[in-house]
Amino acid sequence: MRVNDPDSLWIIGVAMTSFGRYADRDAFDLGAVAALDAMLDADVTIADIEILVAGSVNQSRQYPAQRIQKLIGQTGIPAVNVLNACATGATAVRSVCQAIKAGEASIGLAVGCEQMGKMGMLGAASLGRERAPFEPRGHDGVVMPTEGLLGTGLMPGVFAQAGMRYAGLHDGVGFEQFAKVAQKNHAHSVLNPLAQYQKSFTLDEVMGAEMISYPNTLLMCCPTGDGAAATVVVSGERLRSMADDVQRRAVKISASVLTSDPWSPDGLVQPDVSTLTRNAAVMAYEQAGVSPHDLDLVELHDCFATAELIHYDNLGLCEPGGAGDFIDRGAPWRDGEVPVNVSGGLLSKGHPLGATGIANLFEVATHLRGEAGDRQIEGATVGMTHVLGLGSACSIHILERSAS
Amino acid sequence: MIADLPIVNYLVIDGDEPYLQATVCDACEAAYLGSRIACARCGKRTFHHRRLPSKGTVGSFTIIHRAAPSIPTPFVSVLVDLEGGTAVKANLVGCPPDPEHVSLGMAVELTTFEAAADESGTRVVAFGFVPSDRGVTE
Ligand SMILES: [Zn+2]
């Protein structure tokens, strides 16, 4: 039996459903399936679980934790719902980690689930123009909806503007570099049977697709979809009492970080997606005692191709200001210097909001266990997950392979 | 008499020419568009107003091609870095909405346009930016 720090945190089970569209299931069915699969993977049952934290964005008001309990087992344990934009799933995992660190539990279950259907990538069909009466409302005295009159505040535009802000500050970044990000992730997705889309595209096809929000074309925007993911986390002390095979496959959570927006001048006019990511990365590397050079793979929040490119820099994967050259030289491809989004990323794998933060833990943990099949990154020992929700919330986890 | 209403309270249209007005923290000089209860940078609760310059440069932009049905497309959304450092988001008007005509760093200046009007004659006035070499028209 292996020795580990009793206060350390370990993933012993993790699972995700295929992402896509499920007309015959609701978000809680999907959450239940992922939870059962994660517990099966961990060789535990709901009777073992001491805390359940679940999250969804669109279904949050229906209280997914309690709904899922009714599908997998009502054992009377504390059940908590979290809502934290696209960082909802990661926040659920972090909340389980906190309960374990606080000594209230030694094993917990985190679930993220979502049903989006074909709600449209903009998610804002109701944001049309209103007519009279014109009266100032709120602290900005807004008289009528401003979308399309005072610029854009919707996600495709926000992330496009974040990318173009970076392009304005650094050389060698433009439409083509952003498009190469999407080309890479679509190519990666072909190896992932759980991805919503598994189709490769040429750079010309990516750049020639319908323009949504320059410089992001349709193939550079993540789709909406349904799905769920779940994970079972234990303390190092609890892990010591578990079967050898569970210990062998356990993946260490070396860092679990959550940040929000600090004040920044750019944050006045639109969410600043970079500063909180940079802050989270610094904290995560310090917590884990690793550097970007130690990472064997990264699953980062590519809701739009422009977002992934700037996160190369925000996460310290490339030289400062060097994200354009980083993609140009193929560094984030699966056979490159730091494989990024070998799952296909949100662009191809899909982005059921609440599930995303746990699905990327599934991807990294599966590689660290050496169980990723055709898409395995050989010999992976350290990996990072990153999610970013507008508002903003950023969560980073660093995972390490069991030393045994 | 026709009443004009600014689309947001940080657009001032009752002077000789329209301008944007920042709400500035007395303690740390953080500048906000719209009113605030407390400063998000330092927490202090008193502010003063500052008239912002009308000229700046395009710090970022996007060209929106897909939007809700009631919103005309394509349109250009810009983040403008005003002289003196404050950033503001708006539409770029008076300029073809394509990447050949919109560029990072291009000089722009403030303009206003009618966003809507009702039967009683109330007009909603919005602001945007135009390329500086085109003058203030629209
Ligand atoms: Zn202040």
| CATH number of the structural domain B4-12+53-136 | 2.40.50
Is A133 inside any structural domain?
A: no
Residues A153 and A77 in one domain: no
DSSP structural state of residue B53 = P
- Nearest chain A residue to B98 by CA distance is A214
Q: How confident is the model at residue B136 (pLDDT cuts 50, 70, 90)?
A: very low
- Segment A2-26 shows an average pLDDT of 92
Would the pLDDT of A126 be above 80?
no
In a shared domain, residues A60 and A153: no
CB contact under 8 A, A128 and B37: no
pLDDT at A226: 97
Is A285 within the bounds of a domain? Answer: yes
Residues A306 and A229 in one domain: yes
What percent of chain A is predicted at pLDDT more than 90?
89
Record: contact A134-B62, CB cut-off 8 A? no
Work out how many domains chain A is built from and give that number. Answer: 2
pLDDT one-digit tens code per residue, A391-401: 899 999 999 99
**Do A301 and A180 share a structural domain?**
no
Q: Establish if B13 touches chain A: CB-CB under 8 angstroms.
A: no
**A237 and A349 both lie in a single domain:** yes
Distance B30 CA to ligand 1 centre (A): 5
The pLDDT of residue B138: 38
Domain boundary among A220, A245, A260: A220
Letter string b/e over residues A246-265, b meaning 16 or more CB atoms within 10 A of that residue's CB = bbebbbbbbbbbbbebeeee
Omega of the bond prior to B74 within 30 degrees of 0, cis? yes
Q: What is the pLDDT of residues A175-195, one digit of tens each?
A: 999 999 999 999 999 999 999
Instruction: State how far residue B60 is from chain A, nearest Cα, in angstroms.
Output: 5
Nearest to B62 among A124, A142, A160 (CB): A160
pLDDT of residue A388 exceeding 60, the answer is yes
Question: What average pLDDT does range A256-282 have in this prediction?
Answer: 91
* pLDDT tens column, B22-70: 999 999 999 999 999 999 999 999 999 999 999 999 999 999 999 999 8
pLDDT-derived band of residue A125, with 50, 70 and 90 as boundaries?
A: very low
Of B61, B66, B115, the CB nearest to A164: B61
Same domain? For A113 and A155 the reply is: no
Among the residue ranges A80-94, A95-109, B2-16, the one predicted with the least confidence is B2-16
| Contact: B91, A214; criterion CB under 8 Å | no
Give strand ranges (E) for chain B.
4-6, 11-12, 19-25, 31-33, 47-51, 55-64, 75-82, 87-92, 107-117, 123-131
Question: Average pLDDT of A348-363?
Answer: 98
Domain holding A172, by residue range, is 139-220
Judged against a pLDDT cut of 60, whether residue A11 lies above it is answered with yes
A261 and A384 inside one domain = yes
- The answer to whether residue B27 neighbours chain A at the CB level (below 8 Å) is no
Same domain, A62 and A186: no
pLDDT at residue B2 greater than cutoff 90: no
Tell whether A383 and A249 lie within a shared domain: yes
Last residue of a domain, one of A194, A220, A246: A220
Examine the domain organization and report whether A153 and A297 are in the same domain.
no
A252 and A207 fall within a common domain: no
From the CA of B128, how far away is ligand 1's center (Å)? 27
Give the per-residue pLDDT at A295: 98
Residues A297, A232 within the same domain? yes
Interface pTM, i.e. ipTM: 0.93
At residue A271, the pLDDT reads 85
Shortest alpha-carbon distance between residue B132 and chain A (Å): 18
- pLDDT category of residue A124 using cuts at 50, 70 and 90: very low
**Are B64 and A161 within 8 A, CB to CB?**
no
pLDDT at A1 over 50: no
Let me know if residue A186 belongs to a domain. Answer: yes
With cut-offs at 50, 70 and 90, classify the pLDDT of residue A120: low
For residue B47, the chain A residues in CB contact (below 8 A) are: none
Name the residue ranges covered by the structural domains of chain B. Answer: 4-12+53-136
Looking at A157, A188, A220, which one is the last position of a domain?
Answer: A220
Please compute the mean of the pLDDT values over residues A94-104 and round it to a whole number: 97
pLDDT band at A4 (very low <50, low <70, confident <90, very high): confident
Q: Does B28 touch chain A (CB under 8 A)?
A: no
Q: What would the pLDDT profile of A127-140 be if each residue is shown by its tens digit?
A: 455 556 788 888 89
